[in-house]
């Protein structure tokens, strides 16, 4: 257990692990303290996500390039996935959809904007011209379009009942997963030199033994699942108390919490003037949500949810995700950044959050 303890001691973020037992205890003692449980659950998930991300990387390192890349790619958004599955089981479909859309927006506006801002405060102008970056932006743009096309194109009122929306979403989910499989083939096999894995080079402390890494992966997954369940069951009531809609919680809070670990890596890379890596993490993570997490949740909803979930996002979410993705592609295409570019990306994010806070889409009938 030495490397794990060493890791915890050296990383202040992991001291927040104390909130994991706290939230479990409070849940047993005062199950009706919804607001406290909600806040504690958020605080507990952040360090667990960091640990999960580190364990995944350690396993990936030990298993060689191909399988390791696959693991990293599929487990990279494991936290988001576990939270969403808990919400799925509770039938909180608005929360699930909001967390999918919010994760894409958070990765492409907040993670990227904060990277540009933090990098720009230390370096005057930052250039990042890797050809692979431009390819990532194309992939993200197309992944998002593929995810949103039915919601953007189809006139919802024409859907005769929910059956048609569900069939369309199931077909779409299968297509997206095929695209995801092809993207892995592309980035891990046929064109892996374009995505050279410098990204994960110094991400963690390295060097965990494989047994510890797999053990941590399993234990932490269970812990995240437990805490997520508390989170989801308290969010409704806590939201009412704090005046937050499920849409706002999913879009902003779940997305920020789930991506905390990746953000730490991206921000530190930006400050080291390695913007290529920050851009690649932000774009790659957003693509993965669209091509993998979203369709897996649709298919899982047939097994674990009270009824199948469709992918019909509410119109405002479609607009926000499209704006975030197009902006992010346009900005990264330029290949040059300064602090104000980051500041403006963050402004757009804050405006989205403000709008969502004041005008929640909760009363929409079709969701």
Selected from 24, 70, 159, 214, the binder of a copy of itself by CB under 8 A is 159
- 160-189 burial, b at 16+ Cβ within 10 Å, e below that, comes to eeeeebbebbbebbeebbebbeebbeebbe
Residues 96-135 close enough to bind a copy of itself by CB under 8 A: 124-125, 131, 134-135
Site size toward a copy of itself (CB under 8 A) is 69
Binding of a copy of itself at residue 358 (CB under 8 A)?
yes
Angle at 283 between CA 173 and CA 229, to 5 degrees: 60
C-beta of 96: minimal distance to a copy of itself in Å?
Answer: 20
User: Which of 138, 241, 273, 366 contacts a copy of itself by CB under 8 A?
Assistant: 138
328: enclosing H helix or E strand: helix 315-334
Selected from 66, 302, 340, 366, the binder of a copy of itself by CB under 8 A is 340
| 183 near a copy of itself, judged by CB under 8 A | yes
- Residues 21, 201, 347, 366: which binds a copy of itself (CB under 8 A)? 347
CB of 126 to a copy of itself, least distance (A): 12
Cβ distance 41 to 156 under 8 Å?
no
Strands 336-337 and 126-127: antiparallel
Burial class (CB in 10 A: 0-12, 13-18, 19+), 342: buried
DSSP sequence for 174-188: HHHHHHHHHHHIIII
Interaction between residue 348 and a copy of itself (CB under 8 A): yes
Local structure of residue 132 (DSSP, 8 states): H
**Cα gap 82→78, rounded to integer Å:** 6
User: Least distance from C-beta 165 to a copy of itself, angstroms?
Assistant: 9
Between residues 113 and 239, which has the closer beta carbon with respect to a copy of itself? 113
| Residue 121 CA: distances (Å) to CA of 53, 118, 264, 318 | 27, 5, 17, 32
Q: Which is nearer to a copy of itself, 59 or 173 (CB)?
A: 173
DSSP secondary-structure letter at 363? T
Q: Which of residues 192-251 bind a copy of itself (CB under 8 A)?
A: 194
Indicate whether 191 belongs to the interface with a copy of itself (CB under 8 A). Answer: yes
Give the footprint of a copy of itself on this chain (CB under 8 A): 124-125, 131, 134-135, 138-139, 141-143, 145-146, 149-150, 152-155, 158-159, 164, 167-168, 171-172, 175, 178-179, 182-183, 186, 190-191, 194, 314-316, 319-320, 323, 326-327, 329-331, 333-334, 336, 338-341, 343-345, 347-348, 350-352, 354-356, 358-361, 363-364
């Amino acid at each position: 257990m030495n490397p794990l303890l060493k890791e915890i001691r050296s990383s202040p973020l992991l001291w927040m692990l104390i909130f994991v037992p706290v939230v479990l205890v409070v849940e047993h003692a005062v199950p009706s303290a919804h607001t406290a449980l909600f806040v504690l659950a958020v605080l507990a998930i952040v360090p667990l996500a960091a640990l999960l991300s580190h364990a995944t990387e350690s396993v990936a390192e030990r298993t060689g390039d191909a399988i390791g890349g696959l693991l990293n790619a599929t487990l990279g958004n494991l936290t988001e996935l576990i939270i969403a599955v808990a919400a799925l089981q509770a039938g909180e479909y608005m929360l699930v959809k909001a967390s999918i859309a919010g994760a894409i927006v958070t990765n492409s506006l907040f993670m990227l904007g904060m990277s540009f801002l933090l990098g720009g405060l230390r370096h005057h102008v930052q250039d990042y011209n890797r050809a692979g970056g431009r390819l990532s932006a194309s992939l993200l743009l197309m992944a998002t379009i593929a995810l949103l096309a039915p919601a953007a194109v189809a006139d919802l009122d024409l859907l005769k009942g929910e059956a048609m929306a569900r069939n369309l979403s199931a077909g779409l989910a299968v297509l997206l997963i095929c695209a995801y499989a092809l993207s892995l083939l592309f980035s891990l096999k046929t064109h892996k030199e374009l995505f050279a894995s410098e990204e994960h080079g110094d991400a963690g402390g390295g060097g965990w033994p494989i047994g510890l890494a797999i053990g941590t992966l399993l234990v932490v997954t269970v812990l995240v699942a437990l805490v997520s369940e508390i989170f989801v069951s308290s969010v409704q009531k806590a939201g009412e108390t704090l005046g937050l809609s499920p849409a706002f919680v999913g879009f902003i809070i779940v997305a920020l919490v789930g991506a905390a670990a990746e953000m730490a890596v991206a921000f530190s890379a930006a400050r080291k003037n390695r913007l290529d890596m920050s851009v690649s993490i932000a774009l790659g993570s957003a693509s993965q949500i669209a091509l993998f997490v979203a369709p897996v949740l649709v298919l899982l909803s047939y097994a674990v949810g009270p009824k199948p979930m469709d992918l019909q996002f509410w119109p405002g979410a479609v607009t926000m995700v499209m704006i975030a993705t197009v902006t992010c592609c346009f900005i990264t295409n330029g290949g040059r950044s300064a602090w104000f570019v980051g500041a403006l990306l963050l402004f757009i994010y804050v405006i989205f959050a403000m709008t969502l806070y004041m005008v929640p889409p909760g009363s929409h009938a079709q969701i």
